[in-house]
Structure 1
């Protein structure tokens, strides 16, 4: 997605939400498939100085501390270089105050030497209530203040902020910094100033930062009630609720009433099983087409046994790489993530929301909030007749699970064993090989071209072209 590595540089006084934005932005970029990592300068500083004593460390006239802080910044930038040049990273987020032009010029020289792109994110906040709330929510539990009293933490941290204010040089969009690419976020998103966005990924960053809002809310995720297709083991389709699915819908209404969620917004897909679930709630709901279940293409309304029998190669390929595999004529989980991006943006902006959705859709949404990798995403457990309550907190997400006591079938498929995908090819391979050795060779090469292991061994092998030997080789 990026044609050259990008360094995102945070700017701002302490307690302005820089780490909060860094972590959320990194989670979002990884979710949409852009390898991203945060480099928090506080971590490097705590490695260099094992015990924090007081705000005196951050005084601009503390020469020894200033040397340590600059050294930590240089070490962090070297780690950024390793990540972007050697470890496959595309974006690094340098999470530090970076409040002086001298420090930012050092970073700009580093970027120029390594041919990276750079984008600055400055958080400006002069609302004392927001600052105090941030200190109490995040800094009290900081490693800098083990077992400290709230009053002492607040006093020391406010003095630390004053140390930074002495040398703080905000970005100057009309003068010194007019040629830089950046966004200024004022008072946690009340106002924005965007300057010289250079490429697609920078526009994505701006779009995301303009949509996240720091407010207290919860997101409720659940699947529709059990459907007729669920009971038959079929995927996709547009079937109706089973009797137990209707019981769940009634139980879900009781759950909403019991928890006093009168202001709850309810979203569904445009498929009957989610709509029937929402209709039982007795509240208004919105239908979103982009919340429809993953499109299984030619495999729609088939059971997994039918797919394995009818399309053995497709069945095996999906087990190999479930996230990237695309059903013929359908979608992959990767496609689904791209489709659901507008939903994430809306969830970040809204108050309390209940999303009545589908297994694959719920997995994608959960992976965003829980920071799960693409490899883990397709195997997240999202059982029927269970509600997940997600409450964003300082640097993560609190998860609560509510089972509504209505039985349902288990639609979860565990991650297959490594050797399992190849075994799926054997019936078709044996059948083809019994008819024609050339056809068998074509199928064997087709198999191995899609496998992630041993391709060189396969291609360099000297074959005994009897069908039995070819089957034996593919097995080995």
Structure 2
């Protein structure tokens, strides 16, 4: 009965809020029942069976990387961890060792984690059997991600980009590091047993061939695994840069009013022209330009003289009843709401409006398309730019609403092996400051002076 109710709840909420990941069952339900792990041997080869512990809808998931070194496993695991945390699924990456398995238990039970990513080779069936046995005893789900690559050019590029920037090879001679790493690959290759499509048909996994030229997906168990598969099928390793810019300064920016759909100020128009000159000077191959549906981003893009694509998902956060109000007016008319937003800016939702958490959900299709594309210029808004920046820089939810995204500044994001390189370009066109820091006093009963302490200057 409990399992049936859980499934119904999961299905109903999934249909209503496609992008939410909420715990519905009591965690102890899936941890108080333990089963005996079973590993069957056929002709000297282990065959893994389905978990003996009932898998409830909120069972934590262990994502296990599989593959030889220099196959992009760390790149995949870091991106996947970053993505899951960004959409609100608490995720942690671990090295695959006995101590790490104990850490996983603590992470799932004490820290309320939902996903653990094991970034290691896991090339033997014995090693994978240990992980599966552990997961069965605890009632965790297991999803394997195997990266298979036989293209020598891709492997050589992975070695060049990843290993020479790896902490393992700091201050090491390049030739020495290359020789050492190739020896490591040969050592692992001798004992490597890929996931077998027939013997392991009951396992949940995705195989990625030659960094995305082909995929094989098997036994996806639930909503979170389907999202993982969808994400992994969208990412690529082609070198590219993403340019983020807010629109030029708007008329409402000058007045200190939030939201609205005003046009550019004279300085905002100057920025649009300066942006066009800057982009032209970058000599970007096959650049795509995206804007929101709002006037100020469209007017900024018009100066580029190129085609652009409008995304409603890139529209600024909806301030609801507070649209086109100044912070002073919000404090005067809705002092309690103003304080509540300061207490939890990420989750606070404007009356009849949106929260930053809502924006993250709204922007997930944008992130997926950004991962599919190569060079893109996104002309957007302050709250939108904060959400996108938090994804690429792996910033937590409590920092996201306070990321600095000044007007008339371009951020160039270049994905690299272990993160994202950020370059900032101020285009020398003055603009008002729209950044408001969190005030010291966030109590509902604070006085107006304390509430307005960090409001930026405006006309």
TM range (shorter): 0.7 to 0.9
Who is 2:217 aligned against? 194
Who is 2:442 aligned against? 420
Alignment counterpart, residue 171 of structure 2, candidates 135, 147, 155: 147
Runs ≥4 residues deviating over 4 A: none
Alignment counterpart, residue 90 of structure 1, candidates 114, 133, 158: 114
Who is 1:33 aligned against? 88
Alignment counterpart, residue 110 of structure 1, candidates 134, 146, 152: 134
The C-alpha deviation readout for 1:155-179, integer Å capped at 9, x for no partner, is: 2211211111111110112x21000
Q: TM-score with structure 2 length normalisation?
A: 0.84
Distance 1:367 1:141 in 2: 23
Matches within 5 A, 1:69-468: 73-173=97-197, 175-261=198-284, 263-417=286-440, 419-424=441-446
Deviation at 1:426, TM superposition (A): 8.2
The C-alpha deviation readout for 1:195-214, integer Å capped at 9, x for no partner, is: 01000000010010000000
Deviation at 1:424, TM superposition (A): 3.8
Alignment counterpart, residue 24 of structure 1, candidates 66, 79, 86: 79
User: Of Structure 1 and Structure 2, which has the larger fraction of its residues in helix?
Assistant: 1
Structure 2: which 5+ residue stretches go unaligned? 1-20, 24-57, 450-459
Deviation at 1:351, TM superposition (A): 1.4
Structure 2 CA distance for partners of 1:147 and 1:205, relative to 1, 3 Å: same
Distance 1:7 1:402 in 2: 40
Larger Rg: 1 or 2? 1
Distance 2:167 2:271 in 1: 45
Who is 1:466 aligned against? none
Does the CA-based 8 Å contact 2:340-2:442 persist in structure 1?
no
Distance 2:165 2:182 in 1: 16
Structure 2 CA distance for partners of 1:381 and 1:426, relative to 1, 3 Å: closer
Distance 2:349 2:269 in 1: 32
Deviation at 1:146, TM superposition (A): 3.8
Deviation at 1:9, TM superposition (A): 0.5
Distance 2:423 2:152 in 1: 32
Deviation at 1:262, TM superposition (A): 5.5
Distance 2:299 2:168 in 1: 52
The C-alpha deviation readout for 1:107-161, integer Å capped at 9, x for no partner, is: 0110011111111100000011111111121212333334222222222211211
Structure 2 CA distance for partners of 1:160 and 1:31, relative to 1, 3 Å: same
Distance 2:256 2:221 in 1: 49
Q: TM-score with structure 1 length normalisation?
A: 0.81
The C-alpha deviation readout for 1:74-116, integer Å capped at 9, x for no partner, is: 1111111111111221110011111111111110110011111
DSSP 3-state at the match of 2:89:
coil
Structure 2 CA distance for partners of 1:146 and 1:356, relative to 1, 3 Å: closer
Structure 2 CA distance for partners of 1:293 and 1:109, relative to 1, 3 Å: same
Larger deviation, residues 262-271 vs 378-387:
262-271
Does the CA-based 8 Å contact 1:290-1:339 persist in structure 2?
yes
Distance 2:396 2:170 in 1: 32
Does the CA-based 8 Å contact 1:11-1:98 persist in structure 2?
yes
Deviation at 1:18, TM superposition (A): 0.6
Structure 2 CA distance for partners of 1:426 and 1:362, relative to 1, 3 Å: closer
Who is 1:7 aligned against? 62
The C-alpha deviation readout for 1:209-259, integer Å capped at 9, x for no partner, is: 000000100000000000010001111111010111001001111101222
